[in-house]
Homo-oligomer: A and B are copies of this chain.
Amino acid sequence: MKTKIGIVICGLENNRQFVTNTYIQAIQSIGGLPIILPLIKSKSAIGEYQKLCDGFLFCGGGDITPLLFGQEPAYGIKNTDITLDLYQIRLMKCILETDKPVLGICRSMQILNVACGGTIHQDLRSLDVETINHMQTSLLRRDISHKVSFTPNSHIHKILGPFAYTNSFHHQAIDSLGNDLIVTGTTGDDMIEAIEMPSHSFVVGVQWHPENMCNSSSNMKQIFHAFLRYSRIH
Contact = CB atoms under 8 A, between A and B. Distances in A.
Given A72-B146, A143-B82, A65 B21 contact: no
Interface in A59-117: 63, 65, 67, 72-84
A35 B10 CA distance: 14
Nearest to A6: B35
A153 interface: no
Interface string A135-147: 0111110011111
Contacts of A140: 81-83
A11 to B, nearest CB: 9
Contacts of A67: 144-146, 165
A188 B73 CA distance: 12
Contact of A146 (B36, B73, B75): B73
Interface string A26-56: 0010000111111111101100100010000
Contacts of A78: 137
A16 B12 contact: no
B2 A77 contact: no
Given A137-B78, A138-B80, A139-B80, A73 B145 contact: yes
Contacts of A187: 72
A34 B39 CA distance: 9
Given A12-B21, A24-B39, 4 more contacts: A34-B40, A36-B36, A36-B37, A67-B146
Closest A-B pairs by Cβ, 3 of them:
A36-B36, A81-B139, A18-B18
